[in-house]
Amino acid sequence: MPATEHAVELAAAAARAAAEKKAENAVAIDVSERLAFTDIFLIVSAANDRQVRAVVDAVEEAMFKAGAKARVREGLEEANWVLLDYADVVVHVLRDEDREYYGLERLWKDCPMVPLPAVEPEPAQG
């Protein structure tokens, strides 16, 4: 059974929030056929630990507004790889080099990708 529409909506909300904090290379993977505990892995990259923390804060706020409750948050102390578990969606925020090293996309390459909406940049103030 593919990821639920609710999971897709949550992944999109998290991806938008991450993009607002300049996270890059957002990828959503439908892992529902392989894992019983979640539907989607959302993976995003950040340049450094400070940006990882900013992305995590933005995602947590967006998910709260969407009514999703966090089950687990791991890795914030080091801020190399932070995992946010919202049941239907698990968000992975990784520093660029850690994302390349661990290669989550390679590990889940047999699973279908979930299309994410394009995120429009904020209009310039001035």
> Is pLDDT above 60 for 110?
yes
**pLDDT tens per residue, range 39-83:** 999 999 999 999 999 999 999 999 999 999 999 999 999 999 999
Residue 26: predicted pLDDT: 96
- Identify the residue whose tokens are 């709260």: 64
> Is pLDDT above 60 for 125?
no
Distance in angstroms (rounded) separating the CA atoms of residues 97 and 5? 32
Residue 33: predicted pLDDT: 93
Q: Which CATH fold would you assign to the domain 5-114?
A: Beta Polymerase; domain 2 (3.30.460)
Distance in angstroms (rounded) separating the CA atoms of residues 18 and 15? 5
> Is pLDDT above 70 for 119?
no
Given a contact cutoff of 8 angstroms between Cβ atoms, the answer to whether 31 and 41 are in contact is yes
Given a contact cutoff of 8 angstroms between Cβ atoms, the answer to whether 90 and 84 are in contact is yes
